[in-house]
Amino acid sequence: MKLLVTGGAGFIGSNFVHHMLRTYPAYEVVTFDLLTYAGNLENLKQWENDPRHRFVKGDISDAAVVDPLVEECDAVVHFAAESHVDRSIMSPGAFVETNVHGTYILLEAARKYHKRFHHVSTDEVFGSLEPEDEAFTEKTPYDPRSPYSASKASSDHLVRAYFHTYGLPITISNCSNNYGPYHFPEKLIPLAITNLLEGKKVPLYGDGLQVRDWLFVEDHCRAIDLILHKGTIGDTYCIGGDGERENGWIVREIAEILGKDENSIEYVNDRPGHDRRYAIDHGKITTELGWKPEVSLANGLRLTVEWFQANTEWWQNVKSGGYQEYYRK
């Protein structure tokens, strides 16, 4: 099988490329990425001389580039997206262009050549949960709260429409918050790790009691692999990590791993429209495909800290790129 992986130089996409090339020696992967702030060829360095992997730089909104790449591959796994909520609050137009229009361009090419299409989405399309609410499932109504989640919700609807209208063989997955190797350090966990390694404080929004369901990225890649090969065409699968914890707990746990204390945390003004809680019920993918998360949150955090400790040059190069101007306080 030959895969086109969009956004494959980013955090989750690069981990998926690693997973597929390691798991399936006969597979080929074409990684397609624009290499904006979160895309990094260093994430794929180990495959640069492997004949099974090819990198193409380009924009998913550029049909002239997308069309021939889709034609030559058997399936598209679509990660490419603008993904940071804070950035979407300041510059929503880029999120509509990439996440909605870019997905449309890919879908048109997939429809033209009738290619298998898997769309990677987020639990943020479902909105926010109260503490007593049941976790999100595949039947939860959409209720996006930010320009980012609204753009992802729009792309989800487009993908489903291409299944119902054109019979395109699609699947969709909505995942909870990922963490692990190659995580871009504007997000909570890698920001906490790298700031603490630099002797800096960790900024924590509001009261720090926002709850997220944390999913180790390698568990997520295994789930997408299963959906791609065994998922029911036209269906959606929710992928959760069994790792519901408050943001404050996450930061304190990382600080403890690194020998730091509560004084390393700096509480800052909350972001506008900050969802209070996300949680995913992964019962469907567990029952139908036999998937469940294998890496506990405690072990995953330790593995992630160890990876960042061992890859100082990688994250220092990323942090020097100026992303911090986007971090809202």
- Total structural domains within the chain: 2
Q: Assess if residue 263 is contained within a domain.
A: yes
Q: Contact 243/300 with Cβ under 8 angstroms?
A: yes
Six token digits for residue 144: 């996006």
Residues 89, 126, single domain; the answer is yes
Which pTM value belongs to this model?
A: 0.93
Residues 120, 266, single domain; the answer is no
Q: Assess if residue 283 is contained within a domain.
A: no
Q: Assess if residue 280 is contained within a domain.
A: no
Residues 38, 26, single domain; the answer is yes
Residues 69, 204, single domain; the answer is no
Residues 248, 309, single domain; the answer is yes
Domain coverage including residue 183:
179-211+243-274+295-323
Residues 118, 12, single domain; the answer is yes
C-alpha to C-alpha distance for 112 and 320, rounded to whole angstroms: 42
Which residues, in sequence order, are CB contacts of 198 under 8 Å at separation 6+? none
Q: Assess if residue 286 is contained within a domain.
A: no
Q: Assess if residue 202 is contained within a domain.
A: yes
The pLDDT score that the predictor gives to residue 320 is 82
CATH assignment of the domain containing 268: 3.90.25.10
The pLDDT score that the predictor gives to residue 283 is 98
Listed in order, strand segments (DSSP E) in 7-162 are 28-33, 53-57, 75-78, 116-122
DSSP one-letter string for 20-51:
HHHH-TT-EEEEEE---TT--GGGGGGGTT-T
What positions carry a catalytic annotation?
Answer: 123-124, 148
β-pair type (211-216, 177-179): parallel
Q: Contact 250/205 with Cβ under 8 angstroms?
A: no
Q: Assess if residue 148 is contained within a domain.
A: yes
Q: Contact 228/285 with Cβ under 8 angstroms?
A: no
**How many whole angstroms from its chain centre is CA 187?**
11
The whole-number mean pLDDT for each consecutive block of 10 residues of the chain, a chain of 329 residues, reads 98 98 98 92 96 98 98 98 78 89 98 98 94 95 94 98 98 97 93 96 92 97 98 98 96 96 91 85 98 98 98 92 42
Residues 224, 318, single domain; the answer is no
Residues 168, 185, single domain; the answer is no
Cβ-based neighbour number of residue 81 at 10 Å = 27
Phi, psi of 175 (to 5 degrees): -110, 160
CATH assignment of the domain containing 23: 3.40.50.720
The pLDDT score that the predictor gives to residue 325 is 39
Residues 109, 190, single domain; the answer is no
Q: Contact 141/100 with Cβ under 8 angstroms?
A: no
The pLDDT score that the predictor gives to residue 87 is 77
Q: Assess if residue 195 is contained within a domain.
A: yes
Residues 85, 48, single domain; the answer is yes
Q: Contact 185/194 with Cβ under 8 angstroms?
A: yes
